[in-house]
Structure 1
Amino acid sequence: MTAKASSFMPIVSKMYCSSSQVVLEVRRRPHVVYGGGFVVTDSSQKVLFRVDGCGILGRDGELVLRDSDGDSLLLIRRKEGIIEALNINKHWRGYAFNYEGSQKQAFTLREPNSYLMKNNPIKISTQPRGCGTHWDFQVKGSFQDRTCSIVDSLGNIIAEIGMKKEMRQMMTASRDLYHVIVQPGMDQAFVFGVIAVLDYIYDGTTRC
């Protein structure tokens, strides 16, 4: 079931919500040349977002989502500490920057420990209290295979990650180039903030 958005759902900013469905392309950057991360382009190959990871920032467990001008939109950090290390789930927090440069928590993502990944799905909350029993979105499918969706708590698809058939047949390229379909009204910056964390968890292109 696909979400039918009657209004915008800004999580990072209303600027990144569209009244129509959009199909965007993700191209991962190689560690050696560009320090990892990925860029997001539209159908005319115009860069809309860029994600920088540890290869550029020099800090593990931290990601930055930037706009087309290179300005920071989201600072995404993995929560650290003794209590977190003992927890079954790891938590990531995304902080949005306003026009004055101050930060406000936009979402919390719960990353299951590796041995529980298959039975404990990744869930995302946009509430300040984070991911407890409450969640607003979850990831269904396999990001590693580039066949997954982000769905809301009602089961509506708000974004789909996939690949063209010819790319899927090219094993070396399949993980580096894929598309994301974002449904009307959904905040695209939020979607790619979530994808940045998925990329870190499963592939490591944003890791050092």
Structure 2
Amino acid sequence: MAIVGPQFCAPYPVDLIITQKFLSISERDFTVRDVQDNVWFRVKKTVFSLRERRVLQDASGQPVLTMQKKVLTAHDKWKVYRGSSTDDKDLLFVAKRSHMLQLKTSLDVFLAANTSKNVPDFKVKGSFFERSCSVYVGDTSSIVAQMKKQYTLKNIALGKDSFGVTIYPNVDQAFIVALIIVLDEINKEGGGSGGSFDVEI
């Protein structure tokens, strides 16, 4: 399941912690670490852009993915490109809310090769507010990743929002992290809701 690249797939489960500061003035809104506190990814917010844009960087600061919101769309559509590109030849996938009005969070994800877009390659649904989700393969019950809220006194004291993600073996970690970042952006814009949360892949 190397959607971004095989270097982001491991033959064993990987636990990552995604942290965001509240009211951060830094360009790096999110930091992704493992349980040993090693940085895996950072998310940089592009300032002074006509479009909402986020760049997923690796630990060395190299761009892995660029996430850009499509303007004038009713479904909060985001396009995700390889590296720092925003050229459609480097498009990896598109994610958007399933419906304009929905009681629960529902996100459709289409890989670039899925040009018909009749059926999403991935499906995200539930409630992002709870920060609790499961990731499935297609329409099956096979789980490939799970997310849950992280409550610690340190995070509360530092004004940070933190949640953990367990990514199953041979699943693209950069792809899963990018999905969560896009989902967070969409929910901040009013697309979220309460209730249980599942991410179906």
Q: Tell me the TM-score range normalised by the shorter chain.
A: 0.7 to 0.9
Q: How many residues align?
A: 184
Please, which of 48, 58, 62 is the counterpart of residue 58 of structure 1? 48
1:46 CA drift (Å) = 0.7
Q: In 2 relative to 1, CA 32–167 (structure 1 residues): closer, same or farther, beyond 3 Å?
A: closer
Q: Does 1 or 2 have the higher relative contact order (CA < 8 Å, sep 6+)?
A: 1
Q: In 2 relative to 1, CA 120–144 (structure 1 residues): closer, same or farther, beyond 3 Å?
A: closer
Find the aligned partners of 1:30 and 1:79 in 2 and give their Cα distance.
25
Structure 1: gaps (5+ residues): 1-8
With structure 1 as the length reference, what TM-score do the two structures score?
A: 0.75
Q: Does 1:139 align with 2:124?
A: yes
Find the aligned partners of 2:185 and 2:156 in 1 and give their Cα distance.
20
1:128 CA drift (Å) = 3.1
CA contact (8 A) 1:163 1:174 kept: no
Find the aligned partners of 2:126 and 2:61 in 1 and give their Cα distance.
31
1:125 CA drift (Å) = 1.6
SS in 2 for 1:163: strand
Please, which of 122, 125, 146 is the counterpart of residue 160 of structure 1? 146
- Greater strand share, structure number: 2
1:68-79 matches, within 5 Å, as 68-79=59-70
Find the aligned partners of 1:44 and 1:162 in 2 and give their Cα distance.
18
Find the aligned partners of 1:178 and 1:194 in 2 and give their Cα distance.
14
1:104 CA drift (Å) = 1.5
CA contact (8 A) 2:21 2:160 kept: no
Q: In 2 relative to 1, CA 187–20 (structure 1 residues): closer, same or farther, beyond 3 Å?
A: same
1:148-186 deviation digits (Å, cap 9, x = unpaired)? 22322123222211024x549x98889701100101111
Q: In 2 relative to 1, CA 103–124 (structure 1 residues): closer, same or farther, beyond 3 Å?
A: same
With structure 2 as the length reference, what TM-score do the two structures score?
A: 0.78
